[in-house]
């Protein structure tokens, strides 16, 4: 079973509008972390936002917010006031533990976001 | 802070040769670094976890004799692709964290093309 599922291969959003990128996860650990990264066409991975499994408040970082619904095992990224520079691939990732107790970070398949002027 | 430098950013080599990729944490010490591989339009696949002073832990299906990882110091990990073949052409990207539960900080990646 996929640990991280991103069901939207591609998304379009109008400039200045908000957009939600979906992410669901699967883990049996009680302690885990969820991340969102942005990957522009140049290839670098840019960290956007983090949510810990014990954090009660949804994480926010500027125009980015993470809609964390623990019972549903979802961690959707919301980008408000989209800008042309937001066009990129977006990856959801989860940090949990493997069978040997070591931390691992697993990435979803990504969502390609295109912002339309 | 938390900058990871990866070198080279791109490399072209002939089939059968070896290529070394360096990953450095510039302003923090990283006891653990991670090496990922990414095919075009696909996600990042974890290849191995590099631990300072000990052997790397490879993911299932990754050939440890082909992808040699050395983590000689708290700021440097290297990935050597030995006897490279065209199917090894890919985007390789390293990452590190500066404390246990911090986000991964990524290098800018290395585009390897084997001709």
pLDDT band at residue A1, thresholds of 50, 70 and 90?
A: low
Q: Specify burial of residue A16 (Cβ count, 10 A radius: 0-12, 13-18, 19+).
A: exposed
Q: How far apart are CA A27 and CA A98, in angstroms?
A: 10
Among B11, B44, B94, most A C-beta atoms within 10 A, so best to mutate, is B44
Residue in B42, B37, B33, B50 with CA at minimum distance from that of residue B104: B33
What is residue B77's predicted lDDT score, i.e. its pLDDT? 93
* Chain B residues 22-41 with CB within 8 Å of chain A: 32, 34, 36
Q: How far apart are CA B72 and CA A97, in angstroms?
A: 25
pLDDT digits (tens, 9 = 90+) for B42-88: 899 999 998 888 888 899 999 999 999 998 888 999 999 999 999 99
What is residue A2's predicted lDDT score, i.e. its pLDDT? 66
* Chain A residues 48-107 with CB within 8 Å of chain B: 50, 52, 91, 93, 95, 102-107
Per DSSP bridges, beta strands A10-14 and A111-116 are parallel
CB-side exposure of A73: number of CA atoms within 13 Å?
Answer: 16
What is residue B86's predicted lDDT score, i.e. its pLDDT? 96
Give the closest-approach CA distance of A75 to chain B in angstroms: 16
Instruction: Count Cβ atoms below 10 Å from residue B67 Cβ, excluding itself.
Output: 20
Answer whether residue B2 shows pLDDT above 90: no
């Amino acid at each position: 079973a996929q640990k991280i599922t991103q069901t939207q291969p591609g998304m379009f959003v109008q400039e200045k509008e908000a957009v939600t990128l979906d992410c669901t996860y699967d883990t049996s650990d009680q302690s885990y972390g969820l991340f969102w990264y942005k990957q522009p066409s140049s290839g670098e991975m840019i960290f956007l936002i983090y949510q810990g499994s014990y954090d009660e408040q949804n994480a926010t970082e500027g125009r980015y917010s993470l809609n964390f619904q623990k019972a549903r095992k979802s961690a959707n990224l919301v980008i408000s006031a989209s800008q042309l520079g937001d066009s990129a691939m977006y990856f959801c990732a989860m940090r949990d533990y493997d069978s040997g107790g070591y931390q691992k970070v697993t990435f979803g398949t990504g969502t390609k976001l295109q912002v339309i002027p | 802070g938390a900058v990871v430098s990866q070198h080279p950013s791109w490399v072209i080599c002939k089939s059968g040769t070896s290529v070394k990729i360096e990953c450095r944490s510039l302003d923090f010490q990283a006891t653990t670094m991670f090496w990922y591989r990414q095919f075009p339009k696909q996600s990042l696949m974890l290849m191995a976890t590099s631990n300072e002073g000990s052997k790397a832990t490879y993911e299932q299906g990754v050939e440890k004799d082909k992808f040699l990882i050395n983590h000689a110091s708290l700021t440097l990990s290297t990935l050597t692709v030995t006897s490279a073949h065209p199917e090894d052409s890919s985007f390789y990207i390293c990452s590190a964290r500066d404390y246990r539960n911090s986000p991964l900080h990524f290098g800018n990646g290395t585009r390897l093309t084997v001709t």
